[in-house]
Amino acid sequence: GNSVTQMEGPVTLSEEAFLTINCTYTATGYPSLFWYVQYPGEGLQLLLKATKADDKGSNKGFEATYRKETTSFHLEKGSVQVSDSAVYFCALSDNAGNNRKLIWGLGTSLAVNP
């Protein structure tokens, strides 16, 4: 079945460091891919998405490219800030029939120190 694998956290970085959070997936068909962010004490927010191969999603300085050949959707940011401290979730859509279910990774906690 479909699945998402994220790198385990926690990830701890200093401000202005480069961030990569790895995400790989297993899926049949042509899923859409998502990154969600959950700030402390809040619900999840859609950070970015890509709906087909080679698409690049970007938002708030974060980027991820849908790579079908490596089945990956790694999240990157060139210079992190303390305010980026959150839990990041990779997810893919299961577009089979009416089963409108997102398949979620386990989440990666990021802590950015000043």
Partner 1 sequence: DTAVSQTPKYLVTQMGNDKSIKCEQNLGHDTMYWYKQDSKKFLKIMFSYNNKELIINETVPNRFSPKSPDKAHLNLHINSLELGDSAVYFCASSQVGSLYGYTFGSGTRLTVV
Residues 71-90 contacting partner 1, CB under 8 A:
87, 89
CB of 105 to partner 1, least distance (A): 9
Contact present, 40 and 109 (Cβ < 8 Å): no
Nearer to partner 1, 43 or 114 (CB): 43
Letter for the amino acid at 105? G
User: DSSP string covering 15-77, please?
Assistant: TT--EEE-EEEE-SS---EEEEEE-TTS-EEEEEEE-STT-EEEETTEEEE-BTTTTB--EEE
Nearer to partner 1, 85 or 107 (CB): 107
Residue 24's CB: how many other CB atoms inside 10 A? 17
Quick check: 69 binds partner 1 (CB under 8 A)? no
Q: Which residues in the 13-52 window bind partner 1 by CB under 8 A?
A: 32, 34, 36, 38, 42-46, 49, 51
102 binding partner 1? (CB under 8 A): yes
CB atoms within 10 A of CB 37: 20
Chain contacts with partner 1 (rule: CB under 8 A): 32, 34, 36, 38, 42-46, 49, 51, 87, 89, 93-95, 98-102, 104, 106-107, 109
